[in-house]
Structure 1
């Protein structure tokens, strides 16, 4: 008998192994995933000097438009492959500051329908697998729920831990067992020490409880910093991609010189742009200029995170504009394509 009437247990969800059996990865796709993952790890390890662009919609709300978007990146990647390594953003679960609003495909495969977590779990795996099969990319997703990583751990190329999750112990410990690069965002307060502590925790080994098991992890040396701007005490967005902030992060890494593969990804939207996506090209050029001016920044900088979709801006859930974000506003395809080519010309 459930005496807590404030929580109702709807149903037991399928285990990750069961979902993987339902939606398996064939051998040819495994080879593609392994190759792309190895290339990405080489960039973070400093063995490959290409620039990473983690680019795509704020939220992956519709399979057709997301696959359309990712497919458009294929010919672009081919043209810039010597300079840029593209990782499409397919963010299927979205944190919400107040808990209200669309929480991503994981919760609602149909954004206009009620939540269905089982359908969401299978829809997200199907989408990520389809992206690899049809485009050859390995993609990025956000670790909103640390226990859900196992549903996608054999497919993803990159994992991000958000500004509101970076202080959470379970996210840090789970990241220590992830076998792809994990980006730790600075918290909404902007405190670098919290982000650095998260990186430190994730790079070390741990024993803890995960999905009802006692588990041991070896540590993830590819855990790194993502600067995404912050919110001050007055609720105003403040950027942290400027030259002085980048040098401050260099100093933080120097003070923790036992950390492996010091790396930075700059998130060009969120508080860095004040959620004004058209500012993203300017921000990237400003950061690249800082890197040209200072070797420490150049060595630390591995790439950028960009919110981009087919159409500029954002819309409400149910408005029905194909390829337009239903969460944060994004940079449209034409501007995004131009941005990628401009970056390739600069570096």
Structure 2
């Protein structure tokens, strides 16, 4: 009797359509393409210092309800239009959630919120959501966790993040080197800046690695390297790093490593000590610092990330039948009233400073 020696812990393997097939079902429209390109170019201009506007990546911690996502996008579109002279706003449209141990892994992994893991449906739904939001004129921002997913969705994303848990991963550094949009690398969960700097340096160089092509076949991907990387400061265990001293230190270290010093700050996670309402405090500190930086001509602080939803807080999951609309099922978020307040007040302060300096 010959004993099996492979797939011993695999329950099933289910094929799904190729990226080309999924894209054919939900093709990129002319309106969406225009938004994607303009969003990417605006972010690049900020990173290069050609655009002095403040980059804002804002929206739900994760997307689980398409209608709530569209409701949020419509609200954000109005604020985007009202603040476009001082902000470059992108909406967080996150479909993948890294888990410290276990938990819901995001809409692509489990779109029905019931543990059926219908990932084909998740990929199609993800494209639908991205398309509708970009067709509204709002560039999208997302985190890429699974290295296969970008082949299905990255053509509708203007900015992407590599998370704190995956910044140290060679696979994600290789993936980032081939992505077509600017990439933010978060510092490690322990607060370490070096892993993010190493990731940024690595992704700027060419890599060859295993991946899939548009037909879904395993292939060797040879990437040119992505020059549009930057650091996201998100704090770490028992410490924040959004204060002026931390930002100045990070910029100094980036310059010493001959890397672009532009820094985004995550107002959530360790910087808010995982208390969603403290994001307002972090945001206000960043606006203060941006105003000070404008006077000194320093471009180092380029943007902020905020976790925001229609209603504040979060709700227990799994409980799909009883979920309240517009409330996060992952990290707690500030609500729309606070979101609108900080964006409009921040814009007014930046606008007034520019007028005073003119």
Q: In the alignment, is residue 216 of structure 1 matched against residue 225 of structure 2? A: no
* 2:247–2:301 CA contact under 8 A, matched in 1: no
Partner of 2:308: 308
Instruction: Give the match's secondary structure for 2:149.
Output: helix
Q: In the alignment, is residue 62 of structure 1 matched against residue 65 of structure 2? A: yes
Structure 1 residue 62, shift from structure 2 partner: 0.5
Q: For the pair shown, which has the larger CA radius of gyration, 1 or 2?
A: 2
Partner of 2:233: 227
Q: In the alignment, is residue 146 of structure 1 matched against residue 147 of structure 2? A: yes
Q: In the alignment, is residue 46 of structure 1 matched against residue 45 of structure 2? A: no
Q: What is the TM-score when the length of structure 2 is the normalising length?
A: 0.90
The verdict on how the C-alpha distance between 1:192 and 1:32 changes in structure 2, with shifts beyond 3 A counting, is closer
Partner of 2:354: none
Cα deviations across residues 40-60 of structure 1 (Å, max 9, x unaligned)? 221122111111110000110
Structure 1 residue 203, shift from structure 2 partner: 1.1
Query: In structure 2, what is the Cα distance between the partners aligned to 1:282 and 1:29?
Result: 34
Q: In the alignment, is residue 245 of structure 1 matched against residue 246 of structure 2? A: yes
Query: In structure 1, what is the Cα distance between the partners aligned to 2:87 and 2:71?
Result: 21
Partner of 1:280: 279
Partner of 1:168: 169
Query: In structure 1, what is the Cα distance between the partners aligned to 2:185 and 2:170?
Result: 13
Moved more, 197-206 or 287-296: 287-296
Structure 1 residue 213, shift from structure 2 partner: 1.5
Structure 1 residue 344, shift from structure 2 partner: 0.5
The verdict on how the C-alpha distance between 1:29 and 1:286 changes in structure 2, with shifts beyond 3 A counting, is closer
Query: In structure 1, what is the Cα distance between the partners aligned to 2:230 and 2:297?
Result: 14
Q: In the alignment, is residue 196 of structure 1 matched against residue 189 of structure 2? A: no
Structure 1 residue 35, shift from structure 2 partner: 2.2
Query: In structure 1, what is the Cα distance between the partners aligned to 2:306 and 2:169?
Result: 25
Query: In structure 2, what is the Cα distance between the partners aligned to 1:341 and 1:141?
Result: 24
Structure 1 residue 205, shift from structure 2 partner: 1.6
1:115 is aligned, of 110, 114, 117, to: 117
Provide the aligned length of Structure 1 versus Structure 2. 338
The verdict on how the C-alpha distance between 1:323 and 1:2 changes in structure 2, with shifts beyond 3 A counting, is farther
Structure 1 residue 346, shift from structure 2 partner: 2.1
Query: In structure 1, what is the Cα distance between the partners aligned to 2:253 and 2:13?
Result: 46
Instruction: Give the match's secondary structure for 1:173.
Output: helix
Q: In the alignment, is residue 91 of structure 1 matched against residue 90 of structure 2? A: no
Structure 1 residue 204, shift from structure 2 partner: 1.3
Query: In structure 1, what is the Cα distance between the partners aligned to 2:138 and 2:264?
Result: 19
Structure 1 residue 322, shift from structure 2 partner: 1.0
Partner of 1:234: none
Structure 1 residue 297, shift from structure 2 partner: 9.1
Q: Which runs of 5+ in 2 are unaligned?
A: 213-217, 351-358
Structure 1 residue 294, shift from structure 2 partner: 5.0
Query: In structure 2, what is the Cα distance between the partners aligned to 1:287 and 1:59?
Result: 24
Partner of 2:268: 269
Q: What is the TM-score when the length of structure 1 is the normalising length?
A: 0.93
The verdict on how the C-alpha distance between 1:73 and 1:294 changes in structure 2, with shifts beyond 3 A counting, is closer
Query: In structure 1, what is the Cα distance between the partners aligned to 2:271 and 2:287?
Result: 15
Q: In the alignment, is residue 101 of structure 1 matched against residue 103 of structure 2? A: yes
Structure 1 residue 28, shift from structure 2 partner: 3.4
Cα deviations across residues 135-191 of structure 1 (Å, max 9, x unaligned)? 111201111112211111211011010000000001001111111110000011111
